[in-house]
Structure 1
Amino acid sequence: MKLDVESVLLSGKAVVVVEDDETLRNLLVDILIEMGGHCDAFSNSEDALIHLMGMQDDCSLVVVDHGVPGSIKGKEFISMVHERWPGMPAILTSGYQLDASEVTPPVSFLFKPWSIEELAQAIDEAIRPPTPSATTRDVPVHKPI
């Protein structure tokens, strides 16, 4: 697959994907690899969290579906990740409306079904460093959910 998303490059960054739908998980991994990322993918949050805790290198981004099976849903997973690694870029996906007040920032929300362009934009917003002149009141760094 060849993508036309030249502006978003993950260039060797580690990405953890949590998606229970195998087809969508494989598609996400293919897209992220095409963007230059190194991906580890899981069908549930528990396995992904165990993996993150054992990683030797830093993870640069997590992409998580909210409605995964198990006791840890996507929002809770991101909150747990942010407790251990504050500020880790995260993208939460869901086909359902979610309460944004329950998710610890910074998080970009990607409503399903999403396009490759929407995914690329969410990744760019999630991993782009804040501009030095921007403040949280002036310019939002991440798209709120």
Structure 2
Amino acid sequence: MSHSAILCVDDEVAILETLKEQLVRCFGKCYCYEIAESVEEAWEIIELLQEEGTQIVVIVSDWLMPGIKGDEFLIQVHQRFPQLVSILLTGQADQNAIARAKQEANLYACLYKPWTEEELLTVILSGLGLEKS
């Protein structure tokens, strides 16, 4: 198992399944892929991965979720894990939320639904400082 993980957070299961399928196609066994249907579940996964010694290198988070918006979640994550690459996935985020996430969460990129697998791959590779092969 990989010691690096990519975590996807979205309240829509179909989105999570699509993201995971695309990530597996793009990166194979290079990473562990985790999905969470809520911010609460995401924090549980983050804690579990930390206990296992697995480093989360990328979080892809939806913006519009029940309870807390994605930009607020990514700000909280950045405060604990400033090195992590954060990507906001949205169909509805306003520009103020995106600007706030860039400033306060060091947001790397914003992908708009519907995204393409190529966009996802390019953004993650770039965020990790890797080149496309």
Same fold at TM > 0.5: yes
User: Offset at 1:23?
Assistant: 1.2
- Which SS does the other structure have where 1:20 is aligned? coil
- Which SS does the other structure have where 1:60 is aligned? strand
Q: Whole-Å Cα distance in 2 between the matches of residues 52 and 21 of structure 1?
A: 19
Residues 108, 125 of structure 1: 8 Å contact kept: no
Q: Number of paired residues?
A: 118
5+ residue gaps in structure 2? none
- Which SS does the other structure have where 2:56 is aligned? coil
1:32 to 8, 23, 34: 23
2:8 to 7, 17, 21: 17
Whichever structure has more strand as a proportion of its residues is 2
Runs of 4+ with >2 A deviation: none
User: Offset at 1:87?
Assistant: 2.4
Larger Rg: 1
User: Offset at 1:12?
Assistant: 6.5
Residues 63, 93 of structure 2: 8 Å contact kept: no
Q: Whole-Å Cα distance in 2 between the matches of residues 45 and 29 of structure 1?
A: 17
1:91 to 87, 94, 104: 87
5+ residue gaps in structure 1? 1-10, 130-145
Q: Whole-Å Cα distance in 2 between the matches of residues 124 and 106 of structure 1?
A: 15
Residues 89, 107 of structure 1: 8 Å contact kept: yes
The residue that corresponds to 2:100 in the other structure is 102
Residues 106, 126 of structure 1: 8 Å contact kept: no
* CA displacement, residues 21-60 of structure 1 (integer Å, 9 cap, x when unaligned): 1111101011112222311101111110122123221111
The residue that corresponds to 1:81 in the other structure is 77
Whichever structure has more helix as a proportion of its residues is 2
Task: Give 2:17's aligned amino acid.
Answer: N
TM-score, normalised to structure 2's length? 0.80
Residues 66, 93 of structure 1: 8 Å contact kept: yes
CA RMSD of aligned residues (A): 1.8
The residue that corresponds to 2:128 in the other structure is 127
Identity %: 27
